[in-house]
Chains A and B, each alone.
Chain A
Amino acid sequence: MPRINSASELEELRKGVLSERDPDKPCIAICAGMGCLGLGNGRVISAFEEEVNKKDLKTKVDIRATGCHGYCEKGPMVVIYPEEICYVEVTPKDVPEIVSQTVLGKKVIDLLIYTDPDTGEKAAHQSEIPFYKNQMRHIIGNNTKIDPRSIDDYLAVGGYSALSKSLLEMSPEKVLDEIKKANLRGRGGGGFRAGRKWETARNAPGEEKYVIVNAHEGELGAFMDRAIFTGNPQSVLEGLIIGAYAVGSHRGFIYTRHDTPQLKNNIDMALAQAEEYGLLGENILGSGFSFNVEVHLDIGIFVSGESSALMRSIEGNAPEPRPKYIHTSVKGIWKKPSVLNNVETWANVPLIIDNGSEWYASTGTARSKGTKLVSLSGNIVNTGVAEVPFGTTIREIVYGIGGGIPKGKKLKAVHFGGPIGGSIPESLLDTPLDFDELAKLGASIGAGSMLVLDEDTSMVDVARYFLDFLSNESCGKCVPCREGIRQMLKILTNIRDGKVREGDIELLEEIAEVTGAASLCALGKTAADPLRSTLRYFRDEYETNIEKMKRPAEKRE
């Protein structure tokens, strides 16, 4: 591969890549995301390869194993370009027909396209399927067009133009200014202003500074970051390099999951290819700016995604949080200024630079800009990853995109943010997706997992489940968190098992207050949040449980 030394060389290369591609040439894009992988897409991919070989079509048809298309419920997903015909739940035995009928014959196979379970209406193209129709896919939309292991695919959709613009046409201050104007807020949970974090690190004393991708994604029910990073790793990398330039950092880290080899492989491949093209390493695009990236694997417990624990882990220590009375953007890894943003946040950066902060800020609400990826799971018809503009109501997401609750059941609650998040009841479903609106309701958006719960769910069990998780996945270092979780879990287990005592609810609230105020890190401070929100909206369930237990045994149901 050639090394690119200037903006014009990058555009030359892009032109070359595009000129070799015939837009009318059929391409079979098969989702190779993790959900579809579990549904057996590997066999579908090999079936397509075999069929194309058998029919001697290798030069006439492209096969592309792509990242996650988002609609996990209906996987394995296959999209046939250039017509963008979308087939759902494809099995290897469908493959010969798809090749002969659709790829060659340009005909839609009715049996394989999406059928609306309520209306029976069919949709042949991705954009007509309700799950996709109601989304705004700025970040994940390119996933179907890209083989994550091909940097040329990323260049073909305009990749690295934002980096070129940043390094060669903008000063670091100007880049920072754009991010601030766009009001990009961290997608990892806190919703902290990315521009402010970058600025703090930029202005912090010291030459050595670091930028980090948090790809730990430990939140239960969250699977959007791995969909972006596995499916389009170059977009995250491009964002990271732009961030490094703005902050004045020459060394970056990617902290990712040890248990997801596909993700790790795609990241490694992306780094190697970007380096070969001179988009990473010394004197990037001939700009004089140099930047290198290392990949670190996590330790596998939830707390290792907490910023200070993550940084300790990168240093080679146990992933235990340390106090952040001085921000990590001033004293992070090895006490050097360190900017940590999660995968989705970095993936937003090239979009902002390419289209401008004004364009970016025109989407969303007053204080939450752009789009947000959410992962839908639980009692919902359409499990999957969706991307919507901030401001979309939770009802629209659950019913318009998610297809509602299976088996005609009623919705009881939507839980956000996993073990350190909160639930909102059905009556609040018209709340817009917004960092501050949801936080006000005690259900902070977290990384974007939305666990949908139907009427059969016990909210006491939900709170208990998350505390049980945290009792294993916290570090156990400080008393209010470790012992508070232990005691709250005991009480909830007792309530579940009918060994309840008078005053248990009040005791739970008292413990939650102490754990929230006195714990060392954000995990401890928010560990009682699911409990608090279920007490706020579903207190009657706790009380009913307790009342039931107080009645004599023979009268119990």
Chain B
Amino acid sequence: MGKHKKMSDIIIQIDGKEVKAAEGMTVLEAAQSADIFIPTLCHHEKLEPRGLCRICTVEAEVRGWTKFVAACLYPVEQDLVVRTRSEKVDRIRKMILEFLLAHAPYSPQLQDLAQEYGADKDRFEKESSFCILCGLCVRYCAEVKKKNAVGFVDCGSRREIRFIPEIAVKECHSCKECFALCPTSYLQAAFVLTEALAFSKDASQTALKK
């Protein structure tokens, strides 16, 4: 909470409970400070929130208007009323989980949430890629390690993550910190594949020796 100077600026309501928050805080931060749980998948405290997975969608009521917003991004404001669970919120989360379970049916994190929201892992046909594109690896490599060895490529339904061989060959063997962040088993597979296909023998051996 170091970046928020004053804690008592703004009073909001989350699930009927009054919560003190500071200007510039997000709904997720305010909820966490009051020990109110909102599920997240693409959120990481060391990274800029991006609102990619939308599992943190909550109902926000401002001046009589109710809308569905991503808690990890939505800024608090005076008299904001937040409902972290509602019939529709649960329905949204259930379907988001079902979308993602089509990619990664055995992800423990997804399985736990699926149980909570009654999501059926077989609702949609299985997809070929395990990646749920939460971007934790991409963002961690860019924002914390500042290396950009892994990035998003392409757009729409063709979007995927890919290691940049020229950078990865130099940086990844000694790091691999992103492996632990991955909620599925995709990242490791992508790395091994990159290693096998794109690293020249000499280059990877040189890198290993370092």
Contacts and interface: CB of A to CB of B under 8 A. Distances in A.
Interface of A: 301, 303, 318, 323, 325-326, 470-480, 482-487, 489-490, 510-511, 513-514, 517-520
Contacts of B199: none
Contacts of A513: 91
A476 B52 CA distance: 9
A518 B68 contact: yes
Contacts of B5: none
A470 B158 CA distance: 11
5 contacts: A325-B69, A472-B156, A475-B156, A482-B133, A490-B125
B45 interface: no
Interface stretch (B6-14, B31-39, B94-102, B184-192): B94-102
Most chain A Cβ neighbours within 10 Å, of B52, B74, B88, B154: B52
A479 B96 contact: yes
Contacts of A517: 57, 68, 88, 92
B17 to A, nearest CB: 22
Contact of B75 (A326, A473, A480): A326
Q: Which 9 A-B pairs have the closest CB atoms?
A: A476-B159, A483-B99, A471-B157, A514-B95, A517-B68, A476-B156, A474-B156, A518-B54, A486-B157
Nearest to A325: B74
B90 to A, nearest CB: 11
Contacts of A519: 54
B: contact size bracket: 20 to 34
Contacts of A486: 157
B155 A473 contact: yes
Nearest to A525: B68
Contacts, number: 96
B159 A520 contact: no
Interface in B53-74: 53-55, 57, 68-70, 73-74
Nearest to B68: A517
Interface of B: 50-55, 57, 68-70, 73-75, 88, 91-92, 95-96, 99-100, 102, 124-125, 132-133, 152, 154-159
A477 B99 CA distance: 14
B69 to A, nearest CB: 7
Given A323-B70, A482-B133, A472 B155 contact: yes
B184 to A, nearest CB: 14
A323 B57 CA distance: 13
Contact of B99 (A318, A323, A476, A487): A487
Contact of B158 (A323, A326, A472): A472
Nearest to A490: B125
A482 B54 contact: no
Contacts of A476: 133, 154-159
A425 to B, nearest CB: 29
Nearest to B77: A325
Contact of A473 (B51, B53, B125, B156): B156
B99 A484 contact: yes
B150 to A, nearest CB: 15
A489 B125 CA distance: 13
A482 B53 CA distance: 10
Contacts of A301: 155-156
A471 B88 contact: no
